[in-house]
Structure 1
Amino acid sequence: MGTAVAIAACVASAWAYAVGALVQEHVADRPLRLLLRLPSWWGAVALNGLGGLLHVVALRYGPLSLVQPFGVLTLVVAVPLAAVVARRAVTRLEWHGMALTVAGLGGILVATGSAGVGVLGAGDVIGLLLVTAIALTALAGASGLWVAAAGGIAFGVSSALTQTATVRLTAGDFGLLSLVTALAVAVLATLGLMFTQRSFRAGLSAPLAVGTLTNPVVAAAIGLVLLGEEVAGGRLGLTLALCSAAGAGLGVALLVRASSGPRADLGLRRGQVLRRAPGQPAAPRAQPNRGPAAG
């Protein structure tokens, strides 16, 4: 029953994150001081908050290695939604990318161990926060997809700490470690939101793809190294997990490739004509090259 609740919460969380990402990408070219005045941006923040709450529920009932791969669904949901908003059809390349991503996710879920919900100790939390601070500081001045990777790191570490804080607080543990972990979750989630907002200046699919891959990779590493989570099935399960991860990575790469295709002149290719303002002279027609004039 707990696994079913975790999966349902993950799917709902992916939808909330996907819609929020679309809104964030739409206003990504505006500075933060203007974003703070936009109701639509605050709506995106609210959707991210809803996605975060559902993610907390999922982490309460499922292990980190089960919950985090579902973050890839955010990309799978966002691509068709972006196509609907842009009033275009989903391309064959995008369908192939989504199919590989979902198949890879399914393989990862099959190979996921049956470990219970893990909790980080005090030394693990301190060490993890130090490593994360170093990584995010190094990426703070980066640009492009490196910013998306920074957002994925922040969200991945935040998820691991969220599980620890949720388990401790719901068990009535309100000690210093629980409060510090909860505060770190809030800070990392905010940093993840800011890094992700910056990354969307490069478009939607590519930064979202990098972030949704970095997030589960970081969380899976934490689960395997610090929480004692294991891959089911021994070597066969590990092989399946690696192949599935490669398939999901290929699917994301196809989605990134599809998003990088030229779409700015799509309307012109469909025969639409740009209208000129009244009184504006028409653009001069290009004269055919007739070669040098005859003497």
Structure 2
Amino acid sequence: MFADYTSAELTAIFAMQGFAGLILFSVFVLMALGLAIIFGQMGVINMAHGEFMILGAYITYLTSQFFSTSLPSLFDGYFFVAMLLAFLVTAALGALVEWLMIRHLYKRPLDTLLATWGLSLILQQLYRTVFGAREVGVSLPDWLMGSYAITDIIEVPINGIFVMGLTIIITICVYLLMQKSRLGKQTRAVVQNRPMAAAVGINTERVDRYTFALGCGIAGVAGSAFTMVGSTGPTAGQLYIVDTFLVVVFGGASSLLGTVASAFTISQAQSTMEFFLSGSMAKVLTLLIVVGILMLRPQGLFSLKVRR
């Protein structure tokens, strides 16, 4: 497999695929952060999480269209407005879904899986009706175009650097929110012991709603970032949902560090193997390796000690 390449070519290949893996890692982390919060605290298997991501992507697309036609002088900064709108709209939809459907299905994981899978199909058809079946792409500002030449054969796209920087900032913000804020402390209390948290006056139903909304909002931001590296279609979210669940389970539910470490490991493995093997074979090998590790450590790479 490596015999056909020189050492210099292999170094360049691993560097380029490593950076491509970092971009995939960014999407995985943004998707998995929201899913880990929802699954880790509430035990809800949200199969519609990918559709929340695509909603954020479509909002970014609409915002770019609006700025390009109505506010062309402000087009360079449209993405920051789009990212905020994506978070607010997807968080609001998440809160509505939790109130209408999810709150009636707690402690029934199979029912939540089926209900959210049905919701994902409804949202896919809604996107197909409103935006059409064809994929759409956003127009990037000039400052996000081009690439940096690290060597003669290695170039790094600027939009990829921006996505990674955005991922780092959002991860830090989520960590501070969960560790330092009142909502984060209440969320961790509910995770550790829900009856005791309710006994000391924490409104667990409100915490659940805010948590589900937060997880969906982060998925919306992931959709905004996704538009930088891929085109948006009604079913694009389903391409990432399995990998995202894999990241969450492999890293350990409700563990932020585990989510980041798992996303990095899986994205780098897939990106590197896809160059030398087919994409489907790379996914199969990655899945087999992860399953093998989970057989030895079923709680994931990192796990929280939770009182039962």
What is the TM-score normalised by the length of structure 2? 0.32
Higher Rg of the two aligned structures? 1
What is the TM-score normalised by the length of structure 1? 0.33
Q: Tell me: higher relative CO, structure 1 or 2? Use CA pairs within 8 A at least 6 residues apart.
A: 2
